[in-house]
């Protein structure tokens, strides 16, 4: 369902709403509309602006190409710090489902207070693990932060451990899943990148310098694709824990949190019958268990006989059938299909 010109964040899979729309609704009343920026693919700008009526073109930070999350954060920090040297911003991924919203917004406000008090703090939010997952990063909670209820120093950070390690973390009880939500001081991010990722910082400074000029797009198109591609977790958060100039803080967030990184994540949101079969469209099952069917065509019947633990996804031009336990490998499979289907 997700294609280069229609990423998963824009799929209207939730009663006619997209994950991007839901993410924008979560911050309603927390962050003023005029302070809400969207960093995403330039090729999707029109779809993004349509999905969020309150969004405006001047607050859309268009990436010429996807360069992973460190560069998305860096581009945002570079632009915001140039506009306001005291800017503090929250990175909210648009591929998550979170409830209750009241608890989410309460913690976001707590996070802003921590960074506004000390710009050298980087705040992240941990989720209580429900199972040993190898698809998430883990944060170990350290000592409490004086004067801030339920805030802790981050003792360590581990991005996507193997299963044995994940099981140990779960048993120890002091580790939480990394939510992928961060709060930064924009200037601190730029200073940290200058120490930790100097080539990236230099490129971002060139982009920021041209941002208000007629050469913005030319410089962005030339420089952005040359930046080192890595995640914010590997490129900034892990080394920040050891950096003497930075303090990574953790706020546990008591919410139901789903990172929609695979069909496995999505189907957990669907109701199942007594045999564990789930469907979002017209389907019939016989001698089958653990089947999940997702279809964009409500008039098309999917019939399943004698199968177990499969995910079936039907679109007008592509049908996916995969073992339920292999759904996180769909990205690798997608690289092998002909370009016209990507």
**Which residues have C-beta within 8 Å of that of residue 104, sequence separation ≥ 6?**
26, 98, 253, 255
Question: Residues 15-43: pLDDT tens digits?
Answer: 788 999 999 999 988 999 999 999 999 99
Question: Tokens 């952005």 sit at which residue?
Answer: 224
Residues 43 and 78 in one domain: yes
Q: Determine, yes or no, domain membership for 324.
A: yes
DSSP string, 174-211: -EEEEEEEEEEEHHHHHHHHHHH-HHHHHHHHHHHHTT
Question: Residues 243-268: pLDDT tens digits?
Answer: 999 999 999 999 999 888 778 888 88
For residue 161, what pLDDT is reported?
86
Count the domains in the chain: 2
CATH of the domain at 254: 3.90.550.10
Pair 251, 126: CB distance under 8 Å: yes
Q: Which residue, 237, 261, 285, sits at the end of a domain?
A: 261
Residues 225 and 250 in one domain: yes
Give the confidence band of 192 by pLDDT, cuts at 50, 70, 90. very high
Q: Which residue, 244, 261, 278, sits at the end of a domain?
A: 261
Residues 107 and 161 in one domain: yes
Cis peptide before 92 (omega within 30 of 0): no
Residues 268 and 256 in one domain: no
DSSP string, 66-119: --HHHHHHHHHHHHHHHH-TT-EEEE--SSEEEE-HHHHHHHHHHHHHHHHH-T
Distance CA 334, CA 322 (A): 12
Q: What is the mean pLDDT of residues 292-321?
A: 93
Whether the per-residue pLDDT at 58 is higher than 80: the answer is yes
Question: Residues 124-151: pLDDT tens digits?
Answer: 999 999 888 887 889 999 999 999 988 9
For residue 157, what pLDDT is reported?
87
pTM for the model stands at: 0.87
User: What percent of the chain stands above pLDDT 90?
Assistant: 75
Residues 131 and 248 in one domain: yes
Q: 23 is in which domain, residue-wise? A: 8-261
Lowest model confidence (mean pLDDT) among 23-27, 117-121, 221-225, 328-332: 328-332
Q: Determine, yes or no, domain membership for 1.
A: no
């Amino acid at each position: 369902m997700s294609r280069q010109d229609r990423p998963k964040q824009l799929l209207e899979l939730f009663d006619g709403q997209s994950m991007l729309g839901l993410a924008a609704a979560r911050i309603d009343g927390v962050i003023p509309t005029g302070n809400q920026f969207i960093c995403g693919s330039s090729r999707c700008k029109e779809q993004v602006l349509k999905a969020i009526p309150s969004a405006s073109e001047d607050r859309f930070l268009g990436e010429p190409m996807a360069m992973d999350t460190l560069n998305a954060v860096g581009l945002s920090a570079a632009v915001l710090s140039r506009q306001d040297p005291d800017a503090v911003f929250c990175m909210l991924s648009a591929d998550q489902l979170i409830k209750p919203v009241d608890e989410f917004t309460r913690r976001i406000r707590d996070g802003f207070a921590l960074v506004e008090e000390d710009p050298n703090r980087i705040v992240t939010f941990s989720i209580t693990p429900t199972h040993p997952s190898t698809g998430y990063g883990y944060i170990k909670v350290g000592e409490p932060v004086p004067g801030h209820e339920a805030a802790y120093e981050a003792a360590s950070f581990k991005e996507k451990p193997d299963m044995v390690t994940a099981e140990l973390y779960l048993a120890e009880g002091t580790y939480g899943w990394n939510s992928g939500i961060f709060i930064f001081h924009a200037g601190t991010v730029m200073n940290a990148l200058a120490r930790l990722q100097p080539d990236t910082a230099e490129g971002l400074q060139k982009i920021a310098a041209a941002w208000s000029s007629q050469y913005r797009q030319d410089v962005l198109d030339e420089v952005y694709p040359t930046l080192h591609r890595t995640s914010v977790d590997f490129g900034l958060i892990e080394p920040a824990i050891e950096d003497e100039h930075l303090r990574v803080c953790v706020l546990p967030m008591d919410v139901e949190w789903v990172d929609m990184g695979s069909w496995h994540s999505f189907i957990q949101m669907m109701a199942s019958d007594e045999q564990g079969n789930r469907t979002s469209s017209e389907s019939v099952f016989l001698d089958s268990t653990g089947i999940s069917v997702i279809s964009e065509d409500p008039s098309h019947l999917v019939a399943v006989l004698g199968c177990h633990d499969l995910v079936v996804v039907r679109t007008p031009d592509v049908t996916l059938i995969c073992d339920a336990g292999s759904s996180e490998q769909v990205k690798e499979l997608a690289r092998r299909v002909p370009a016209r289907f990507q």
